[in-house]
Amino acid sequence: MKDRYKEYCTGCGLCGSVLQVSFIKDAKGYEVPDLSEGSRSFCEKVCPAAGKASAQMSSGNIWGRKKSVYLGWAKDPVIREKASSGGIITAVCCYLLESGLVDAVIHTKASGKIPYETETVVSVTVEDVLACMGSRYSVSAPLKNILQTVDANKRYAFVGKPCDVSALHLYMNDNPKLKSNILYLLSFFCAGQPSEDAQKRLLEHLKMNTEMCRKIQYRGNGWPGYTMAEDNSGRTEKMTYAESWGHILGRDVRHSCRFCLDGIGEFADISCGDAWYITPDNRPDFSEALGRNVIFARTEKGDALLKQIHNSGGVYLEQYDENQLSIIQRYQLERRAGMRAMLSAMKLCGRSVPSYDIQTLKSFEKLLPRKNRIRRFWGTIKRIVLGKI
């Protein structure tokens, strides 16, 4: 059986920062840690696959812990236009810096070298934050140098995928000093990190290759906006978000993402997703519109911050009926509620699985009809037999 922590590594990079674990790229372009016995005991404390995070999840509440759920967007029309959804994360980061609540924001930006790679940056001005707007549908490891980045005399906000935030949250609980430096955790709904292979396939569809391409924008400049690549001569090619995510990127994500129990940023102070409109036949509507976020204020601190920004005119907020999420974020619901069925299939086939808390799994499972769980179980068996997992 494979090593659970290697197999279900999310690539957050925290073990690299804390224990100087080295990483090697696997065949798909994901960085995988070279874990020793000592580093495994570290993973047990922080890794989403270890079960500690799942035991702290809001049992029975499929959309996670919350103080309030809002529909909203950035009031600045440029941010709303250029950001991934409605620009809430960018607006929050800008407010945190401008109001002096933090000195800097640690987040992710497109790499200046290879257009589909990312780098972790420390933003200290609004201009820096604006340069990070939008979703990078590729690999990111924002915790790889977190301890080396944080200055003990400064206060930060951190933006990361749900798995990054979950690992950092657990690590900070054992390291209160860091908690006094990183004051806000911000996250977003995440369906997975597409591989390097997927990026190359995306470029092929856009009639480019890695050498020719100097810029990729996955979405934004509209909502959802187009996926767009630009080559060295300035030629641009585009495809719809539904095509790029639905047919290429979303089909080739990290193994751990397929078995992720937290695609909704459960451990963030604020977590955002797309608040798609709903079509008359009850599907998410991906046709172009002005951007909108669904916003979970998951802690008192997160809720107080959002209200403060709303009062200052930085964001628009209204109450949101989270029942709509079962239509517009169906994948998130089914992955979470169908996890027990998928893990049962994996175990039956002798495969290693994340050690998620069984009570949490059972509480989520109740929210998915039995026939749907059975379909997930057999679907997983089929994928194993076909060598797809």
Give the binding site for ligand FAD (CB under 6 A): 83-90, 107-108, 118, 132-137, 140, 142, 159-161, 188-191, 193, 263, 272-274, 293, 329
Query: Is the Cβ of residue 330 or residue 382 nearer to ligand FAD in the bound state?
Result: 330
Q: Tell me how far apart the terminal alpha carbons of the chain are, to the nearest angstrom.
A: 14
Question: Exposed (0-12), middle (13-18) or buried (19+): which is 318, by Cβ within 10 Å?
Answer: exposed
Query: Is the Cβ of residue 54 or residue 118 nearer to ligand FAD in the bound state?
Result: 118
Token look-up 């490891």 returns 141
What Rg value do the Cα atoms of the chain yield, rounded? Answer: 20
Q: How far is the CB of 265 from ligand FAD (least distance, A)?
A: 9
Query: Is the Cβ of residue 191 or residue 305 nearer to ligand FAD in the bound state?
Result: 191
Q: How far is the CB of 193 from ligand FAD (least distance, A)?
A: 5
Query: Is the Cβ of residue 207 or residue 283 nearer to ligand FAD in the bound state?
Result: 283
Query: Is the Cβ of residue 253 or residue 351 nearer to ligand FAD in the bound state?
Result: 253
Q: Please name which of 286, 205, 255 lies closest in space to residue 384, comparing C-alpha atoms.
A: 255
Question: Exposed (0-12), middle (13-18) or buried (19+): which is 69, by Cβ within 10 Å?
Answer: middle
Q: How far is the CB of 188 from ligand FAD (least distance, A)?
A: 4
> How many CA atoms lie less than 13 Å away from 97 in the CB half-sphere?
18
Token look-up 């175990």 returns 347
Q: How many residues does the chain have?
A: 389
Query: Is the Cβ of residue 107 or residue 336 nearer to ligand FAD in the bound state?
Result: 107
In degrees to the nearest 10, what's the CA dihedral of 357, 361, 364, 366? -140
Q: How far is the CB of 186 from ligand FAD (least distance, A)?
A: 7
Query: Is the Cβ of residue 37 or residue 321 nearer to ligand FAD in the bound state?
Result: 321
E strands in 281-385: 284-285, 293-297, 315-319
Q: How far is the CB of 213 from ligand FAD (least distance, A)?
A: 18
> How many CA atoms lie less than 13 Å away from 186 in the CB half-sphere?
24
Q: How far is the CB of 372 from ligand FAD (least distance, A)?
A: 19
Q: Please name which of 40, 52, 41, 186 lies closest in space to residue 106, comparing C-alpha atoms.
A: 186
Q: How far is the CB of 136 from ligand FAD (least distance, A)?
A: 4
- Structure token pair of residue 155: 């206060």
Query: Is the Cβ of residue 39 or residue 84 nearer to ligand FAD in the bound state?
Result: 84
Neighbours of 67 (CB within 10 A): 15
Q: How far is the CB of 2 from ligand FAD (least distance, A)?
A: 24
Q: How far is the CB of 87 from ligand FAD (least distance, A)?
A: 4
Strand-pair category, 156-159 with 227-231: unpaired
Query: Is the Cβ of residue 190 or residue 361 nearer to ligand FAD in the bound state?
Result: 190
Strand-pair category, 315-319 with 68-74: antiparallel
